[in-house]
Amino acid sequence: MGNLTGKLLINGEWIISTQSGTFYAENPATSEKLPAAFSQATSEHVEAAVDAATDAFAVYSEISAEKRAGFLEAIAGAMERTADQIVERAGLETGLSDIRLRGELGRTTGQLRLFANLLKRGDWQRPVIDSADPDRQPMAKPDIRLTQIPLGPVVVFAASNFPLAFSTAGGDTASALAAGCPVIVKAHSAHPGTSELVANCILSAIEEIGVPAGTFALLHGPGRSLGSALVQHPGIKAGGFTGSVAGGRALFELAVQRPEPIPFFGELGSTNPVFLLDEALAHKSESIAQMFVGAMTLGAGQFCTNPGILVAKQSDATTSFCELAASLIAEQGPQTMLTSGICASYREGNSQRQEEVTVRVLAQAPNVRGNEAQPVLMSVSAVDYLANPQLQEEIFGPSTLLVLCANDEEMQKVAASFHGHLTCSIFAEEADVKASVELTSTLQHKVGRIVFNGFGTGVEVCAGMSHGGPYPSSTNVQSTSVGERAIDRFVRPLCFQNTPDSLLPDELKDANPLGVLRLVDGEWTTKTL
């Protein structure tokens, strides 16, 4: 795909900006600048990108689902053909390993194909037909038919911690394109070269399949000014974001305060609490401790689903668990964090937590240098935890707080105190069933996914996955950013009443030319009317 240019991609053309200066990516492991100076978008570039996306929407939203599926598959194929170059640059920009990045690239192409298959299957619009009944009394019943249509141009904010799966061609982009929405990606400044390489794959697919050039754009620039301009532009109809609570909340407020408010789907902070019940710890403390340290330090603790809180009752089994976990943490080797800023925030968060007089450090990995993470396990009593809401806040990195409870009642109080999280885990055996039922009853209202005898790390890309939850894990509790239902974020229902068959979309026509599954008068069927 050639050398990096540092340019912006707008309406199928690579454009250099000469007005806003340039910036360089940095290798977090060495703090060295990486090749290629990247242009920063101006307000004129924003206008050009949104105008092109608006024009493209008129065409792209009307092309067949089969052609959109081919487009997504073409993106996946182009990424696989360029995998070596993408992985090499992403490794330099993020410090992540080759194995991790190749796995993430596979997850990214898998997401694209998941949505392609959904489009081919055809039931994503959930068509409904309620037949007319002219003889109904006291009023005749009209013919009512329901489908879903795309919202319009979408702005996607690339995430720092997943340079592929939650970035340029990640889940937000894939689901929006599948829905029929053009996408403008605001690239993350930590991995602009990776973003350009992936954007080139998307451009190649645009040219191969023949969709409008304005269907995709890539812009670089400061998050605060460029992000604000995109979210507030009247041509943008929805936003997708993965990142910090502060950044996501600021953009969300801009989105809802517009003259025409738009949906903004932000995945923000989550500490993913883990409950260790009595019998599970009594019989499996060793294996649980090993699993915990692996999940805690996975990706230098920079997954959105790393366990940030453990909850257990004080007992000999809990003591044994802590001793083993402490020894495993002390053995951890250094891992480079994604950026110097993330590393600085991580250390500051740990320092502030350790200054709390009620918090005790149980384990800490050996000293580190540069942008390396130092895993740490701390503990606090349930009483002190409940008295200090700040202890629930996420420290982004391999830092976990153990909340020690005196009894089941305190454990329930801790569960009830949580705000929204992406996941929670419960380690339990058969003898823990009563406590499990009570916890599940509470936690189902606090999280988007409940995991038994495992950790939330490793978000399976499949139809049944939910990756969201109550605020602040998400700005929209009804949405998911992973799985087939992620497409629902970028469509809206449209109802047709007493509409001539020739004017209906294919999924609602009497003959059902697409052969899709429809809810007809209360029964699911693929039959014609």
What is the 3-state secondary structure of 41-92? CCHHHHHHHHHHHHHHHHHHCCCCHHHHHHHHHHHHHHHHHCHHHHHHHHHH
Q: Which residues contact 344 (CB under 8 A, 6 or more apart)?
A: none
User: How far apart are the C-alpha atoms of 247 and 345, rounded to whole Å?
Assistant: 14
- Catalytic, out of 181, 201, 304, 424: 304
Cβ atoms 90, 191 nearer than 8 A: yes
User: How far apart are the C-alpha atoms of 268 and 280, rounded to whole Å?
Assistant: 31
CA angle 229, 233, 235 (to 5 degrees): 145
- Catalytic, out of 196, 267, 372, 394: 267
Query: Within a 13 Å sphere around the CA of 495, how many CA atoms are in the beta-carbon half?
Result: 6
Concerning whether 304 is annotated as a catalytic residue, the answer is: yes
Segment 512-515 long-range contacts (CB within 8 Å, at least 24 positions apart): 514/122, 515/122
Which phi and psi (to 5°) does residue 129 adopt? -130, 120
Question: Token digits for 459?
Answer: 């978000």
Concerning whether 462 is annotated as a catalytic residue, the answer is: no
Cβ atoms 354, 361 nearer than 8 A: yes
| 35 prior amide bond cis, ω within 30 | no
For residue 360, list its beta bridge partners.
379
User: How far apart are the C-alpha atoms of 140 and 167, rounded to whole Å?
Assistant: 51
CA angle 403, 406, 412 (to 5 degrees): 70
Residue indicated by tokens 């192409």: 109
Of the candidates 287, 305, 268, 273, the residue with the CA atom closest to the CA atom of residue 424: 273
User: How far apart are the C-alpha atoms of 470 and 98, rounded to whole Å?
Assistant: 34
Of the candidates 77, 21, 50, 40, the residue with the CA atom closest to the CA atom of residue 202: 77
Judge residue 223's burial from the number of C-beta atoms within 10 Å of its C-beta, 0-12 exposed, 13-18 middle, 19 or more buried: middle
Q: Give the rounded distance of the alpha carbon of 423 from its chain centre.
A: 13
Q: Which residues are catalytic?
A: 267, 304
